[in-house]
Amino acid sequence: MAVGDYHNHETTYRRARQILRAVPEPGWEAIESSVVAAVRATPRGGWPLDVDDPDPATTSGVLRVSDLALGAALGRALRGDPDYVVTDIEHPSDDGVLQRVSIFISGRYGADLAAAAGRVRRRAAAVVADVLGPSRVPEVEVEVTDVHR
């Protein structure tokens, strides 16, 4: 993982837990939760994303927000739908410009997955428009990668 590659935190944490559990260290179980909590609480740097200035006539300059803030906002907005669970969110950027948003979901067995994907797409686009501005909304891709009960 290169510096700045923070698109899938849960995979990183899961991998760290697997490695640490494989090490026969006496007493690890007693400190595991505090170590994982400390890793999660560690500040991470994100990549800056350009934002539409809500009032460009008042002052000059550039507004930016961290891609971590965008990812957190997307995660919060996409939670709680009974028809799907988000498994991953990717939002690559190039020179401060959000290139696309890719969202991977596990759909509930028997649900209308096309409708669920449409809801995900609309919610994600609305979040990006709210965080970065309406002119900054890129293509939003939704991929159903699994089905669950």
Whether residues 91 and 31 share a domain: the answer is no
Q: How far is it, in rounded angstroms, from Cα 57 to Cα 67?
A: 26
> What whole-number distance in Å separates Cα of residue 97 and Cα of residue 137?
10
Number of domains in the chain: 2
- Is residue 24 located within the same domain as residue 97? no
| Domain of residue 57, residue span | 48-148
Tell me the whole-structure pTM to 2 decimals: 0.71
Q: Are 74 and 140 within one domain?
A: yes
The predicted-structure confidence for 4-45, as pLDDT tens digits, reads as follows 555 566 777 788 878 777 766 677 778 888 888 888 888 778
Q: Where are the alpha helices (DSSP H) in the chain?
A: 9-22, 28-41, 67-77, 113-132
